[in-house]
Structure 1
Amino acid sequence: MRTYSKSKSLLTTSLFFLLLIIIMGMSGCSNSDGAAQASESGDKALTVAISADTGLDRLDAGAYDGSMNVHAMIYDGLVEYGEKGEILPSLAESWDISEDGKVYTFHLRQGVKFSDGTEFNADAVKFSFERWIKDPSNSLNVATAMQSLVVVDKHTITMTFNKTYYPFLTELSFARPVRIISPTAVEPAGDITGTFVKAIGTGPWMAESYKTDQEAVLVRNPNYWGEMPKLSKIIMKVIPDPQSRVLALQSGDVDIAGGQMGKIPVESVPVIEADSSLSLQKAPGTSSHFMIFNYNTSALQDLNVRKAINLAMNKKSIVNDLMNGIGNEAEGLFPLTVPYVTESNNTWYGFNPEEAKQLLAASGYKDSDGDGIAEKDGNPLEFNFVLQQAEYPEWKAISELIQSELQEIGIAVNLQVLEPNAYYDALWTSKAYDLILYRTYDDAYNPHSFLLSLFHRTTEAAAVVWSDAELEAQIDTAVGAMDLQERQSAYDSIFLRMYKEAMFAAVYFPDDILAVNHRVTGFKPGYTTFTPIFWNQLDVGNE
């Protein structure tokens, strides 16, 4: 068994003037700008720009609706995701795991209340999980593998699973649907099939007001068990257009923008850096952008061709020339911020066009007619390269650079910019591409969840990115290893095989960037996209 931490109606003239002096004094302490206010009474607020509606009226902890960022502000989980995947206590102070890795016993924090004042206990945990755990549409392993959920006593609950799978704890740190909601949040109260009424959690924030597609206002939870937020209010303001978010920052209408909440265009970075009222905050991200090879394309079944594509790409130029220095050259599938990625296993192909040409020649490709495109058996080395711009506008410029670089080594590339629906259909269903630009997941979903989703077959279909039985066996070993050294060794083997077989082309490691008004103090980036900022530490002062 392994254990883990834990008045009178008439006023005299003199009284009137005394009150007037007090009021004037208080007015002098207020901030004339409405975006951030601070008074001696401690009433402090700031405004955050977001790209889409929060869905605050439907923010059910057991559902996948609404903003993940707000989910994580209102609801706590049993555990929390820390730096590089460290699992930290939250509503569970400690936990025990059986030697076979199938039984988890959680010892719950005592004295915790929900934002409506009702008590948090093991029954509330059981209620929260039973509302979604049997939903057949839920693919989380913590749901599909759970055999029993037993309340041992008021502050102890046990979960038993049908398999050994180390990321159970990681999944319990997700923003949804694993977080804990009060039984009073539904009608009838305590009914697991009851209708969701209001977001009631144990987190540091709670809902105050909401205007669809305009704003959501959160206020601090007076019953919060942890570090009480320094701010009294956070206003989430919906600004769908990226450039409008930048203008709102410059005008002082919002205090913070960026990250997954509402991305800042890379081309706006110099503007923000030149604005004396703003600071640009950069943090290494946990996702990467990479090129997928269609393993059904005959020419891409040649390892030399896959290596040559990698060697032809100048990733330093992508970062410096196209991304304004935001991010890093990709060295493998995941950046070093991801668990189990180390300096020694995070290696990839450098920039060497001459070696790329030699590899193509070794595989029988040569430009026999002088048109600049290599051929073999009369077939030109030509690929359709699919991308989309709606979610990632920078992909067009990156793809055009890659297109020209591959042309230099004799590979013709036809760019196809698709709308998101058509793009995702090509990726997941039709496979109508030779090359396609994609990204990994973020933070708590890496590396295990992304590898299982993209590099491992399902009962219905082969792997999405690259089908390889040996790699799939290594992934199975990694996710089933409870011993840390065994797990690390399995991940080392996974990353090594990906490199040797050049299963994809690494492109770019993006940074997470946020712009913050200088009125804001205590800013610290979080460890996940659903908690991009340590909200409780934020404060505002007078200009």
Structure 2
Amino acid sequence: MRKQFKAIRAAVAAVAAAAAALSLAACSQSGGRTTDGTVSGARTTFTYARAASVTSMNLWTEITSNNAFAIDKVFEPLVSFDTHGRIIDWLAKSHTISKDGLTYTFTLRDGLKFSDGTDVTAADAVFSIERHQAEKDAALPLTADIASVTAPDEHTVEIRLNSAYTPLLAELANFSNGIVPKDFGGKSESAFFEHPVGTGPFVVSKWDKSGDLTFTKNEHYWQKGKPGISKLVYKTVEDGTQAVNQLKTGEVDGIESPALENLDELENGADTKVETTGSWVTHTFFLNTADEHLSDVHVRRALAYALDRGDVTKAVSFGHAVTAKTVLPKGIEYSTQDSIKPVDDDLAKAKKELAQSKYPDGFEAKILLASGNNAYAQAAQLLQSAAKKIGVTLDIDSVDIATFRSRFKAYDYQIMINSAQADYPDADSIISFQADPDGFSKSYWTSYSNPEVTKELREAQVTPDGDARADLYAKIQQTLADDVPYIPLYSPQIVKAVRKDVTGLEVLPNDSVRFQDVKLG
């Protein structure tokens, strides 16, 4: 009997100990309230799964999202845009534009500091804009005819133009127009970008260019009390399925690019949710017009007519995208999504176009594809199947994302599937990037050139907003649809998947996010 009583007492003690341990564990996970009202032990590190590593922080030469959406956490521009694409003052507390459209004046916020604690002055902004102008390899160049950039005083920046340029204010909201310290704070340019100093909410702390990047909180950030997290970790997870699994188990707090096929599951998950906004993104087949086969407009039109883009959208978007009929997403002003006449889904016309080409009996080509993206793989297979119906054989060349990027930038492809996104809220952001043969990307690495389109896009850049500008962009979009240097496929919702205890994530229509209001648990 004594032994039985001892056994019962031991069991009760074990249960009590287990309960106490469980209680302590719960406190350590959710945090306890301290005497000053703050939460002790609360999670303050946000881990974000991304498909590709950050390889450069140079805001003037980079364009791909893996780098751009890290750069914009460190560097900030004078003006920015909100979730609806409206221009808002950012480092500038106000701005004015002269009636003739030739003088832009920005007044800096009071007390601005760089992440190293030094003051931000107008001279820093002048240096940054002029350095951007001088960059021969600028990815998103300032193309306005700028006469001068000056600092009348330490809080005022003045940009004078030789001729009006309508997209300038929107262009200045781009990440590539972030402000850096004058003369790189006394460092060489290369050394500066290895350990960048900016005004953004985060500072680069640990950086593996083939792996993860860790940001820490900028203690001098101008938005008082922000960011609410102490660390932001960009974790490289190339496989989309693996990223979803890590989100479910809590190994990551968010996914930058969740596959559309997983959205319903994540939206209704026990511990997960999704955050969305409107889209400036169009997923697209790009055709290398320098290729011997694809230089023939009839070949390009044949492929476009052979493909049913509606079928592609249904197959890959799971109801979370709209079929794209134009290169300009509907979320950008002057899109002709609802009125354009696309070259699409007509097998008889596809065969007729191919018969008029240099290759009436068909040919062989390859679709370059970044591995790990199931939606892109499905779209490539659908184009492959459609092309077969007109006697064209397309093989799929699936490579890792680093190889994919290096190859298409070297024009080493025939057809590729990629995303095209506006970097700022103006039609010029997409049109000039995808149709300007003299631009940084030479028409998004397609080598496409049409003198009439070039003339119209130049005219649209200097035409004030209104009907005349709308007409120019309507003409451009129809010509691009007819010439088919690319086949727009679908514009998805901009979606990020996060754990349910994440609040304050601001999703932007260019596919980036702001983390400064994020809180965990």
Q: Shorter-chain TM-score category?
A: 0.7 to 0.9
Residue in 1 that maps onto 2:471: 489
Equivalent-residue separation in structure 1 for 2:266 and 2:319 (angstroms): 14
The answer to whether residue 229 in structure 2 is matched with residue 232 in structure 1 is yes
Task: Report the CA distance between 1:89 and its aligned residue.
Answer: 1.0
SS of 2:498's partner is strand
Which residue of 514, 537, 541 corresponds with 2:496?
514
Corresponding letter in the other structure for 1:444: Y
Deviations 1:243-282 (A, max 9, x none): 43223212212211223xxxx3455446535631111334
Task: Report the CA distance between 1:175 and its aligned residue.
Answer: 1.9
The answer to whether residue 375 in structure 2 is matched with residue 394 in structure 1 is yes
Task: Report the CA distance between 1:88 and its aligned residue.
Answer: 1.6
Q: Is contact 2:288–2:485 with CA below 8 Å preserved after alignment?
A: no
Task: Report the CA distance between 1:385 and its aligned residue.
Answer: 4.0
Equivalent-residue separation in structure 2 for 1:38 and 1:210 (angstroms): 29
Residue in 2 that maps onto 1:534: 514
Relative to structure 1, is the Cα distance of residues 106 and 235 closer, same or farther in structure 2, using a 3 angstrom cutoff?
A: closer
Residue in 1 that maps onto 2:387: 406
Deviations 1:56-91 (A, max 9, x none): xx8566775994334323332111033454322112
Residue in 1 that maps onto 2:151: 151
The answer to whether residue 75 in structure 2 is matched with residue 75 in structure 1 is yes
TM-score (norm 1): 0.74
Residue in 2 that maps onto 1:357: 348
SS of 1:142's partner is coil
Q: Is contact 2:354–2:360 with CA below 8 Å preserved after alignment?
A: no
Residue in 1 that maps onto 2:3: none
Task: Report the CA distance between 1:229 and its aligned residue.
Answer: 2.9
Corresponding letter in the other structure for 1:93: K
Relative to structure 1, is the Cα distance of residues 111 and 491 closer, same or farther in structure 2, using a 3 angstrom cutoff?
A: same
Corresponding letter in the other structure for 2:477: F
Task: Report the CA distance between 1:152 and its aligned residue.
Answer: 0.7
Q: Is contact 1:200–1:206 with CA below 8 Å preserved after alignment?
A: yes
The answer to whether residue 286 in structure 2 is matched with residue 287 in structure 1 is no
Corresponding letter in the other structure for 2:325: E
Relative to structure 1, is the Cα distance of residues 321 and 92 closer, same or farther in structure 2, using a 3 angstrom cutoff?
A: same
Which residue of 250, 253, 256 corresponds with 1:255?
253
The answer to whether residue 304 in structure 2 is matched with residue 310 in structure 1 is yes
Relative to structure 1, is the Cα distance of residues 280 and 186 closer, same or farther in structure 2, using a 3 angstrom cutoff?
A: same
Residue in 2 that maps onto 1:17: none
Deviations 1:5-28 (A, max 9, x none): xxxxxxxxxxxxxxxxxxx9xx96
Relative to structure 1, is the Cα distance of residues 483 and 511 closer, same or farther in structure 2, using a 3 angstrom cutoff?
A: closer
The answer to whether residue 322 in structure 2 is matched with residue 328 in structure 1 is yes
Deviations 1:108-136 (A, max 9, x none): 22343334443332123234445554333
Which aligned pairs between 1:29-40 and structure 2 lie closer than 5 A?
A: 31-33=27-29, 40=37
Residue in 2 that maps onto 1:170: 170
Task: Report the CA distance between 1:458 and its aligned residue.
Answer: 2.6
Q: Is contact 1:96–1:105 with CA below 8 Å preserved after alignment?
A: yes
Q: Is contact 2:61–2:137 with CA below 8 Å preserved after alignment?
A: no
Task: Report the CA distance between 1:449 and its aligned residue.
Answer: 4.1
SS of 1:439's partner is strand
Q: Is contact 1:286–1:338 with CA below 8 Å preserved after alignment?
A: yes
Relative to structure 1, is the Cα distance of residues 401 and 121 closer, same or farther in structure 2, using a 3 angstrom cutoff?
A: same
Deviations 1:276-331 (A, max 9, x none): 1111334443222233455575797465x655543432323323333433422122
SS of 2:424's partner is helix
Residue in 1 that maps onto 2:480: 498
**What percentage of residue pairs aligned between the two structures are identical?**
19
Task: Report the CA distance between 1:41 and its aligned residue.
Answer: 1.4
Which residue of 200, 206, 212 corresponds with 1:210?
206
SS of 2:77's partner is coil
Which residue of 245, 250, 255 corresponds with 2:243?
245
Corresponding letter in the other structure for 1:77: P
Corresponding letter in the other structure for 1:170: A
Corresponding letter in the other structure for 1:491: Y
Equivalent-residue separation in structure 2 for 1:501 and 1:184 (angstroms): 45
Equivalent-residue separation in structure 2 for 1:158 and 1:54 (angstroms): 33
Relative to structure 1, is the Cα distance of residues 392 and 445 closer, same or farther in structure 2, using a 3 angstrom cutoff?
A: farther
Corresponding letter in the other structure for 1:136: K
Corresponding letter in the other structure for 1:481: T
Relative to structure 1, is the Cα distance of residues 390 and 298 closer, same or farther in structure 2, using a 3 angstrom cutoff?
A: closer
Relative to structure 1, is the Cα distance of residues 300 and 132 closer, same or farther in structure 2, using a 3 angstrom cutoff?
A: closer
Equivalent-residue separation in structure 2 for 1:520 and 1:465 (angstroms): 43
Q: Is contact 1:523–1:534 with CA below 8 Å preserved after alignment?
A: yes
Q: Is contact 2:434–2:442 with CA below 8 Å preserved after alignment?
A: no
Which aligned pairs between 1:65-144 and structure 2 lie closer than 5 A?
A: 67-83=67-83, 85-98=85-98, 101-130=101-130, 132-138=132-138, 140-142=140-142
Corresponding letter in the other structure for 1:448: D
Corresponding letter in the other structure for 1:210: K
- The answer to which structure has the higher helix fraction is 2
RMSD: 4.1
Equivalent-residue separation in structure 1 for 2:359 and 2:464 (angstroms): 53
SS of 1:475's partner is helix
Relative to structure 1, is the Cα distance of residues 335 and 245 closer, same or farther in structure 2, using a 3 angstrom cutoff?
A: same
Relative to structure 1, is the Cα distance of residues 465 and 445 closer, same or farther in structure 2, using a 3 angstrom cutoff?
A: farther
Deviations 1:513-533 (A, max 9, x none): 32111111234412333xx33
Relative to structure 1, is the Cα distance of residues 388 and 461 closer, same or farther in structure 2, using a 3 angstrom cutoff?
A: closer
Q: Is contact 1:62–1:129 with CA below 8 Å preserved after alignment?
A: no
Corresponding letter in the other structure for 1:68: A
The answer to whether residue 431 in structure 2 is matched with residue 451 in structure 1 is yes
Deviations 1:417-448 (A, max 9, x none): 16468866875666763x54443244328742
Equivalent-residue separation in structure 1 for 2:502 and 2:337 (angstroms): 35
Which aligned pairs between 1:57-68 and structure 2 lie closer than 5 A?
A: 59=57, 64=62, 67-68=67-68
Task: Report the CA distance between 1:341 and its aligned residue.
Answer: 1.5
Q: Is contact 2:437–2:448 with CA below 8 Å preserved after alignment?
A: no
Equivalent-residue separation in structure 2 for 1:302 and 1:69 (angstroms): 35
SS of 1:399's partner is helix
Equivalent-residue separation in structure 2 for 1:110 and 1:198 (angstroms): 26
Count residues in correspondence.
485
Runs of 5+ consecutive residues of structure 2 not aligned to the other structure: 1-19
Task: Report the CA distance between 1:357 and its aligned residue.
Answer: 1.1
Equivalent-residue separation in structure 1 for 2:308 and 2:285 (angstroms): 14
Equivalent-residue separation in structure 2 for 1:197 and 1:407 (angstroms): 48
Equivalent-residue separation in structure 1 for 2:237 and 2:81 (angstroms): 29
Equivalent-residue separation in structure 1 for 2:297 and 2:173 (angstroms): 41
Equivalent-residue separation in structure 2 for 1:60 and 1:451 (angstroms): 24
Runs of 5+ consecutive residues of structure 1 not aligned to the other structure: 1-23, 366-374
